[in-house]
């Protein structure tokens, strides 16, 4: 251990508004192609029995290249990065793309929509179910073994599940801001969020309930230090006090509500609290990335994970005022970790 401080149904591509702009951004028509598809499989879910599941995936790059599965938090989805075929911004453009840490010219980047993310699967979903769904997708795509599983937040939890349950199909795991268990404090945060959604439903205003839940979630993702530098003092508006962060919270939550089903939020929030992996079962190399200021995944939990893992293990501890959201904001530090992990794995394979 080292410690450092720091038959598919294809979907048609989105139409271009400006093809010339897209070509300038992505280099040329020879840039790695992106494809999307959907397959239905039957999975035995741990708490809900056998279910027919839709696996909606996106590939960036050539399947002949070593495959890297990328997974983020419960709000993440299959569209990791923009491409010529799908030009809209991805949720991790900072790390995925030509010349970036996860370069689709060297690796085939694979991602999918979480089970339950469309709100149609209204059952208890375990992180282990998500790991089994990843394995099912690999079967569909004809990928025998992943070069790397890169998971952040919920994705790191699922990555640990995959390493424990399907370790023979994985060369290495990078787990960022996610561990083998959910801390009781974090679970308490999420329980209150789910109560906000339930209260909104009782008042026939699910959107408002989900917005409040999202605002509570944002407060748990970020830190007091960040808010102190971003927002000023409270002021009076129309006879009521409005604090400095309210506009930001309102804006962020309205964007989230516009794209998220309350059912999906609740089921994936619950899934976070079900995380339970025995680290001793994991034998593949694991790079663990923790953030000292992360209030949802305490540093002590990362230390516990590292101590119990049985394969080659590295721990990187980052410092960030963005707390749990550092994997989305600290581009340089995260890229350095990813490049190191991929480089070392390539050397071992050679």
**Bridge partners, residue 240, by sequence:** 237
- Three-state secondary structure string covering 155-210: HHHHHHHHHHHCHHHECCEEEECCCCECCHHHHHHHHHHHHHHHHHHHCCCHHHHH
Q: Which of 294, 301, 320, 325 is catalytic?
A: 294
307, 315 contact by CB (below 8 A) = no
Residue 132 a catalytic site member: no
Full DSSP string of 28-51? STTSPPEEEEEEEEEEEETTTEEE
d(CA 1, CA 307): 9
Residue 294 a catalytic site member: yes
326, 178 contact by CB (below 8 A) = no
Q: Which of 129, 187, 324, 325 is catalytic?
A: 324
Q: Which of 75, 83, 153, 271 is catalytic?
A: 153
Distances (CA, A) of 314 to 11, 99, 125, 299: 39, 25, 30, 14
123, 45 contact by CB (below 8 A) = yes
Residue 153 a catalytic site member: yes
DSSP conformational letter for 295: S
- Catalytically active residues, by annotation: 153, 294, 324
């Amino acid at each position: 251990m080292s410690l450092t401080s720091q038959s598919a149904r294809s979907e048609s591509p989105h139409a271009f508004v400006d093809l010339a702009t897209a070509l300038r951004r992505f280099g040329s028509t020879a840039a790695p192609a992106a494809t999307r598809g959907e397959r239905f499989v039957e999975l035995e879910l741990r708490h809900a029995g056998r279910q027919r599941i839709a696996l909606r995936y996106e590939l960036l790059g050539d399947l002949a290249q070593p495959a890297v599965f990328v997974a983020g938090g419960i709000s993440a989805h299959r569209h990791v990065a923009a491409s010529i075929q799908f030009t809209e911004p991805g949720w991790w453009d900072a790390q995925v793309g030509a010349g970036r840490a996860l370069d689709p010219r060297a690796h085939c980047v694979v991602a999918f929509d979480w089970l339950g993310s469309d709100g149609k699967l209204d059952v208890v979903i375990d992180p282990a179910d998500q790991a089994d769904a990843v394995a099912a997708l690999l079967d569909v795509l004809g990928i025998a073994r992943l070069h790397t599983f890169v998971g952040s937040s919920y994705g790191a939890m699922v990555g640990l599940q995959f390493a424990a349950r399907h370790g023979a199909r994985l060369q290495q795991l990078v787990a960022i801001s996610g561990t083998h268990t959910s801390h009781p404090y974090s679970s308490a945060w999420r329980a209150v969020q789910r109560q906000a959604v339930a209260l909104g439903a009782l008042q026939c205003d699910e959107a408002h309930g989900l917005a409040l839940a999202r605002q509570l979630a944002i407060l748990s993702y970020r830190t007091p230090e960040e808010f102190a530098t971003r927002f000023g003092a409270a002021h009076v508006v129309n006879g009521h006090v409005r604090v400095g962060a309210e506009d930001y919270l309102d804006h962020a939550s309205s964007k989230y509500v516009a794209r998220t089903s309350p059912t999906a939020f609740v089921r994936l929030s619950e899934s976070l609290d079900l995380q339970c992996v025995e680290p001793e079962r994991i034998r593949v190399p694991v790079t663990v990335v923790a953030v000292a200021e992360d209030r949802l995944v305490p540093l002590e939990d990362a230390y516990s994970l590292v101590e119990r893992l049985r394969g080659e293990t590295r721990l990187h501890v980052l410092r960030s005022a963005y707390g749990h959201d550092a994997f989305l904001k600290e581009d340089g530090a995260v890229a350095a970790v990813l490049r190191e992990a991929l480089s070392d794995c390539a050397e071992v394979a050679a």
